[in-house]
Structure 1
Amino acid sequence: MKLILRFFLLISVFFSFCHAWGYTPQKGFVPNAEIAAKIAEIILEPIYGESNIHRQKPFHVILKDGAWVVEGTLPKSYVGGSFLIKIAKEDGRVLYLEHTK
């Protein structure tokens, strides 16, 4: 019985530390605004169309609370909306996505 308990304890400890064995860059997977903008473009083009996303350049990119906030800009005379996407600096997850009309 003690051998079985030790085995399960060892397995539990092993699996609790497994997630720590993967590599995470010190500055995160999205370390700067340029990479955040590229990731946003790659994600948004299939959803909203390449011409729509390119029309919203230059992108406005800021780091806020550990997430890159990437927004499209439009000329003042243009009628329509722009995108906003939040990308986690640490691991690149898309935290939020919208496109106004």
Structure 2
Amino acid sequence: MNVGPNTTCALLLLLAGFATPASAATAVRCAAKVEGHPPPKALVATPSVAVALARTYLSAIYGVKQINDQLPLKATVHEGVWRVEGTLKANLKGGVAEIKFCQSTGQVLYVDHGR
């Protein structure tokens, strides 16, 4: 997958705390195609692939224990964008991790953790 400078820059700014999830999301748009030898379908074609990708990203950002405490992760796709979010356990207060990325390319568009 070819990741462009806008994607890399937006994600780095977001992770470093210099951008909000909304501003990072507006800086990155889903590409229409994957460069090189693209898969016959979307790169992230199934909910199981979306959850696996989200778990990898979210664990790297928030820690494995924090994300494991929010399992199962739930994936929905709308207009070519996957939204994967954690599950808040009963009787607990707080929020869950959420990530959005392009179905066609896997580019991260949004990362946040509720409070």
Q: Which has the higher contact order (CA 8 A, sep 6+)?
A: 2
Moved >3 Å (runs of 4+): none
CA change 1:21–1:90 in 2 (3 A) is: closer
Q: Please tell me whether residue 58 in structure 1 is matched to residue 72 in structure 2.
A: yes
Amino acid corresponding to residue 34 of structure 1 in structure 2:
S
Structure in which a larger fraction of residues adopt helix? 1
Amino acid corresponding to residue 91 of structure 2 in structure 1:
S
Q: How many Å apart are 1:21 and its aligned residue?
A: 6.7
Cα distance per residue 1:31-78 (max 9 Å; x no partner): 101001000111111211111101111111111110111010111211
Equivalent of residue 27 in structure 1, options 38, 41, 45: 41
Number of residues of Structure 1 aligned to a counterpart in Structure 2: 83
User: What's the TM-score once normalised by structure 1's chain length?
Assistant: 0.75
Q: How many Å apart are 1:97 and its aligned residue?
A: 0.8
Q: Which blocks of at least 5 consecutive residues in structure 1 are unaligned? A: 1-18
Aligned residue in 2 for 1:47: 61
Amino acid corresponding to residue 88 of structure 1 in structure 2:
C
Which structure is larger by alpha-carbon Rg, 1 or 2? 1
- Once superposed, what is the RMSD of the aligned Cα atoms? 1.8
Cα distance per residue 1:3-49 (max 9 Å; x no partner): xxxxxxxxxxxxxxxx9872111211111010010001111112111
User: What's the TM-score once normalised by structure 2's chain length?
Assistant: 0.67
The 2-side partners of 1:87 and 1:80 are apart by 23
The 2-side partners of 1:22 and 1:47 are apart by 29
CA change 1:95–1:77 in 2 (3 A) is: same
The 2-side partners of 1:82 and 1:41 are apart by 12
Question: What percent identity do the matched residue pairs reach?
Answer: 35
SS at match of 1:44: helix
